[in-house]
Amino acid sequence: MSMYEKLLAMAEHYEEINQHLSDPDIISDREQYAALMKEHKNLTPIIDVFRRYQAAKASCEEARELLDAGEQDAELKEMAQQQMEEEKGNMEELEQELRILLLPKDPNDEKNVIVEIRSGAGGEEASLFANSLYRMYSMYAEAHHWKQEVMNANPTELGGFKEISFSIEGEGAYSRLKYESGVHRVQRVPETESQGRIHTSTVTVAVLPEADEVELEINPTDLKIDVFRSSGAGGQHINKTESAVRITYLPTGLVVECQDERSQHKNKDKAMKVLRARLFEAKLQEQNDQIASERRMQVGTGDRSERIRTYNFPQGRMTDHRIGLTLYRLEAIMNGDLDEVFDALGSADQAARLAGQQT
């Protein structure tokens, strides 16, 4: 089936959905109605562009018919020729847009995420930059009216984080943040440096799509759950009650801790959420490894050992090494203005996948 035939079938199906959505029986069935609304929402951008493509195609054919009719009026012929060339150009642009819209969607794109940030090389300065990245992502989430919640944190005395994990809930959160996994390098004069020398430190970021219980079944007998007293930056409950929870997944030895809440029950729920996300990510990684060509087309998603970005404070510069993007507005980026970065990464990923389809 050609792309055009596929689009015609999708347009026909779209009209059927429109009819169903006005059916009282379907409206009264909340589950079915919600499923149809979701499908309608996903198809609408494709159908809108396809209709513009069809209009351009009809206009182009109309101009060609005028030329083929042997019209003698020179001015009319010139107008028809110009119209045909313009509509051909429009069709090419719209066809490329449709190719992108028809690319297979990442099934996790609409998921919420759990972000894990860990300080790497650089001692206290790395911990301070981990806090800077946490602030950056938090401000981005706030600007998009997404909900952010700390799952677990290991703060340092100077206000940094050895590690912090937090959830971000919002429509399309994973689709925007999924390219952030990897090593983030910072070059700046540390607050702790009296000589004013520029230091280089690193922080690792992992972005995990949140897994539902139905997607990932965990056998309770595979879990070892320990409770212990919280430790950290302070608070009356610290070191007094055994509210902190440590869960060990016995088949792999994976350990998850959570001590951010006063309640042991809440800490256990959060720890399980993080555990499910990590196991789900490992499952996705295994699938990606089996599809080598697809993995080569990715813009570095999921590889935590890859140095993906440098933040150079003296020059006010951020460079994303995967796509060669350099922006000289570091202050705005650190304040959560990341859409330009995410748009560029998404476009590069689309271009790579399109090229992969055509080879």
Q: 13: part of which helix (H) or strand (E)?
A: helix 3-20
Nearest CA among 82, 70, 346, 314 for reference residue 200: 314
Nearest CA among 236, 349, 201, 217 for reference residue 283: 217
Does 296 score more than 50 pLDDT? no
Intra-chain end-to-end CA distance of the chain, in Å:
18
For the residues 134-159, what does the mean pLDDT come to? Answer: 92
0.75 exceeded by pTM: no
Does 146 score more than 90 pLDDT? yes
Distances in Å between the alpha carbon of 38 and those of 22, 66, 91, 186?
15, 43, 28, 41
- Where, residue-wise, is CATH 3.30.70.1660 in the chain? 113-352
State which CATH number among 2.60.40, 1.10.3470, 2.40.128, 1.20.58 fits the domain covering 3-101.
1.20.58
Does 358 score more than 70 pLDDT? no
**Cα–Cα distance measured from residue 230 to residue 260, given in angstroms and rounded to the nearest whole number:** 8
What integer best gives the mean pLDDT of the chain?
Answer: 84
Angle at 355 between CA 351 and CA 359, to 5 degrees: 175
Q: pLDDT: is 158 or 315 the higher one?
A: 315
Task: State the DSSP code for 2.
Answer: -
pLDDT at 287: 61
| Band of pLDDT at residue 274, cut at 50, 70 and 90 | confident
- What percent of the chain is modeled with pLDDT above 70? 87
The three-state secondary structure class of 63 is helix
State which CATH number among 3.40.50.300, 3.20.20.70, 3.30.70.1660, 3.40.250.10 fits the domain covering 113-352.
3.30.70.1660
Most confident of 50-54, 275-279, 355-359: 50-54
pLDDT at 170: 92
Q: pLDDT: is 298 or 276 the higher one?
A: 276
Of 70-74, 178-182, 275-279, least confident by mean pLDDT is: 70-74
Does 163 score more than 60 pLDDT? yes
| Band of pLDDT at residue 220, cut at 50, 70 and 90 | confident
Of 32-41, 75-84, 301-310, least confident by mean pLDDT is: 301-310
The three-state secondary structure class of 246 is strand
Question: Cβ(308)–Cβ(321) under 8 Å?
Answer: yes
- Where, residue-wise, is CATH 1.20.58 in the chain? 3-101
| Band of pLDDT at residue 115, cut at 50, 70 and 90 | very high
Per-residue b/e over 68-100, b at no fewer than 16 CB within 10 Å? eeeeeeeeebeebeebbeebeebbeebeebbee
Of 73-77, 194-198, 327-331, least confident by mean pLDDT is: 194-198
Give a three-class secondary structure readout of 130-155: HHHHHHHHHHHHHHCCCEEEEEEEEE
**Cα–Cα distance measured from residue 62 to residue 138, given in angstroms and rounded to the nearest whole number:** 53
Does 276 score more than 50 pLDDT? yes
